[in-house]
Amino acid sequence: MVCYYGCLLTRPPEVTEVPHPENPTDMDTLLAALGAEVRDWSYKTSCCGAAHSLTRQDIVLKLSGDLITHAREAGADVIAVACPLCHTNLDARQFQMGLDAPMPVLYFTQLMALAFGLPEKAAALDKNLVDPRPLLREKRNA
């Protein structure tokens, strides 16, 4: 798994007071503490194209598609996010990107719900467009 912070959560650093806005680690630390194998990658704060979601879909598809490709190159099988627009761009738009295979994109809170042993319904996994449940079952049985 890789954690994707996007360009909004850490910027501007004068407002967010994030100590390392280009290399944040809070979500990485949290998910690793919950048992996830978190991989480091260089694209955790690259833009997914959110500002262009309505007007320049071509830009969004390119930027978001590149992020999924780079996540896969880093060895990830899941991307964890916090931002709803990042989630939309990375999850819902995958079917428009021409990717070889889809990659589940989960809110870090969905992963927390699973780690805390809450029912699958509480994690709202059925709301994701790229269904994460087959991968999660595979990991559970491994």
- From residue 62, alpha-carbon distances to 10, 78, 88, 94 in Å are 22, 19, 14, 11
Q: Where are the domains of the chain?
A: 2-141
Q: What is the pLDDT, as a whole number, of residue 66?
A: 97
Q: What is the pLDDT, as a whole number, of residue 33?
A: 98
For 2-141, CATH gives 3.40.50.11810
Q: What is the pLDDT, as a whole number, of residue 109?
A: 98
Ramachandran angles phi, psi of 69, nearest 5° = -60, -45
- If you ran DSSP here, which 8-state letter would residue 43 be given? T
Q: Using CB atoms within 10 A of its CB, is residue 72 exposed (0-12), middle (13-18) or buried (19+)?
A: middle
pLDDT digits (tens), the chain, 142 positions: 999 999 888 989 999 999 999 999 999 999 999 999 999 999 999 999 988 888 999 999 999 999 999 999 999 999 999 999 999 999 999 999 999 999 999 999 999 999 999 988 999 999 999 999 999 999 888 7
